[in-house]
A and B are shown apart, each in its own frame.
Chain A
Amino acid sequence: MTHSLHRQGTKENLSKDFTMYCLPAVGINDKGSGSKRWRFLEIALRNNAVNAGEADIGNIMVHSRQELSDRVGDRFRNKPGDGVGDGMAPCICCASKEDVVNILKETLEADLGLSIVMQGVLEEVEDCLRQVGLKPHTVHHSLGVWGKTEKLPGKEILEITTMCGHGMASPNLVKQCIKDIISGRTTPREAARLLAQQCVCGIFNTSRAEALLERIASR
């Protein structure tokens, strides 16, 4: 689940990009954790998460918020304490620090006792944590991309595609979206939603993608 780590961008556009997930440690506190994971998802959905999902169920670009919540809830009720691979922890994405802080406050009040992981510009994450009386416990840094980097698409395309860490939003689909925006066949918002549908975990930030697509297409 390093899928949320290596997002690329500028400080300006990454500052409006936060992902969060909630998960138990297998063999330690996973028993009965399903309802807690579901609770975290519900809190995020009520607090303006721009995207949310589970890898084997899909995201809110495919299902309605209620439908996603129901499906995740049903599974956890049927299989309490099931494993926590990439697809078994609800992931959410926010576009504002205020929403993140509200989610943190409610999650702490709910006292879930599970691990919470946030991704974002480190100083912005630290500020969010300060507002709820916390500080980072463990940090996973990205040291970038190594090797045959000439195989990568351009920087602007990568800023969009790396929002799906599993690589499901293809560079060619981004290019197609840009062409379609320029020709008027779609809008940046619709294109962002189309790209987000490919990212089943729900960590593709539609709000940020819309702004990036608009900027590229306007040139």
Chain B
Amino acid sequence: MNVSDECIGCGLCIPYCPMEAISLGPEIAEIDQDECVECNACLRSDVCPTDALVEPELEWPRSVRRAFSDPAPQHGLTGIPGRGTEEMKTNDVTGRYHVGEAGIAIDIGRPGVGTRLRDVEKIYKRLVKLGLHFEERNPVKGLLKDKDGSDFKEEVLNEKVLSIIIEFKMPSSRLQEVLQELEKCAADVDTVFSVGLIDKVLEDGSMENYERAWQLGYQPSINAKVNIGVGRPQAKF
């Protein structure tokens, strides 16, 4: 985001920035371009009385900031809209996750901290070494040097985004190994990440991964996201 000469230095935009990238300079508002993730929250708030906030045309690699920070759909950069995929939301129709499998979605930078892509690469590399099955349509794929590798394109590593999701699935029996690896990642990155665990519910209503997570000492939140199973055609399980 840029600030034009129209700025009167009122400072009204400052609290709207999720990254605290806006400050008041000697005369007008200033934006720390290294911290700004191009989410457009300040512009969208419509708080500026002189319309001094100006959305810039972004070139690669800075354009990845907006793609992974502005919630409005983005197309053409990674070829995939949004920060993630349909994951379990359409599982009743796609059959992506079956009983005996665990889905994981790691939302890096969330909530509200943001992340440099070098930290995303660190996590991705560790997970690739485990030989996991990654979601093909995940936007992270657009950041890789080689779609089958684990190195990110050099020029994106210092870019900062609000959050980015890595999705994969595995046999439920590997849950402990993978969560332990994620604990190592947690100690190794300069940001936070929110961890999601996906369960295809069994006929009797039980949830294998949820129960296993409790047994391993993790505490799933009391609230969850539930696919209610009314989509058609129904996938075979």
Interface readout for B178-218 with A: 1 if CB under 8 Å, 0 if not? 01001101100111111111111100010101100100001
Contact for B112 among A56, A122, A148, A171, CB less than 8 A:
A171
| A contact residues, total (Cβ < 8 Å) | 80
Q: Which of B92, B111, B189, B191 contacts A6 (CB 8 A)?
A: B111
Given contacts A151-B192, A167-B163, contact A141 B220 (CB under 8 A): yes
A136 neighbours in B (Cβ, 8 Å): 201, 205, 226-229
Enumerate chain A interface residues (CB-CB to B < 8 A). 1-9, 11, 14, 17, 21, 23-26, 28-29, 55-56, 83-88, 104, 108, 112-123, 125, 129, 134-149, 151-153, 158, 161-162, 165-173, 175-176, 197-198, 200-201
Instruction: Select the stretch in B25-33, B78-86, B127-135, B140-148 that faces chain A.
Output: B78-86
Q: Interface residues of B, CB < 8 Å — how many? A: 80
Known: A115-B90, A166-B162. A139 touches B97 (CB 8 A): no
Scoring A8, A134, A147 by chain B CB atoms within 10 A of each residue's CB, the highest score goes to A147
Q: Out of B86, B92, B182, B221, which one reaches A141, CB within 8 Å?
A: B221
CB of A138 within 8 A of CB of B196, answer no
Q: Is B16 an interface residue (CB 8 A)?
A: yes
| B200 surroundings in chain A (CB, below 8 A) | 137-138
A4→B105 CA distance, assembly (Å)? 13
5 contacts between A and B (CB under 8 A): A8-B111, A117-B225, A138-B199, A145-B110, A200-B72
Is A119's CB under 8 angstroms from B225's CB?
A: yes
Contact check, A134 vs B229: say whether CB atoms are below 8 A apart: yes
Q: Given A147-B189, A147-B193, A197-B45, does the pair A86, B97 have CB atoms closer than 8 Å?
A: no
Q: Is the CB of A170 within 8 A of B18?
A: yes
Name which of B87, B105, B186, B231 has the most chain A CB atoms within 10 A of its CB. Answer: B231
The docked-state distance in angstroms from the alpha carbon of A108 to that of B191 is 42
Complex contacts, B183 vs chain A, CB 8 Å? 146
Which residues of A sit under 8 angstroms from B194, Cβ to Cβ?
2, 5-6, 142, 144-146
